[in-house]
Amino acid sequence: MSAAFKAFEERRRKKANETTTRVELIDELLSAVGWSTGSIERELPTGTGDFIDYELQADGHPWMVVEAKRAGQSFRLVRNPAKPGQPSRSLQSLLGTGGESLRSVL
């Protein structure tokens, strides 16, 4: 795990593209925390022409989505109306914005 964080610090200073971010950071971190490669789906089509970079599964069901971005590129999630000041982490509420928040991520 410490090797993964050390590598992250080194790569953080570079301007990595999305592919490099996936291979050298996300894949390494998932491996370091012991996430089974059989429980990771990569580049899943969304049906809108976009792709989900990673879908992590638990017990055979989708559990988390991970989006890779090139170094320096970020995105913002919509605010949670039930908890002002906190971003929404619910897929349903993100879809409720007409998908605009999701499009900025994807």
pLDDT digits (tens, 9 = 90+) for 33-80: 888 889 999 998 877 788 888 989 989 888 888 888 877 776 666 555
pTM of model > 0.75: no
Number of Cβ within a 10 Å radius of residue 95 = 12
Strand residues in the chain grouped as ranges (E): 40-45, 51-58, 61-66
Query: What strands, in cross-sheet order, belong to the sheet with 40-45?
Result: 40-45, 51-58, 61-66
In sequence order, the 6+-apart residues with CB closer than 8 A to the CB of 86 are: 79, 80
Angle at 20 between CA 38 and CA 47, to 5 degrees: 60
Domain ranges within the chain, ordered by starting residue: 75-106
pLDDT tens digits, 78-89: 555 666 665 555
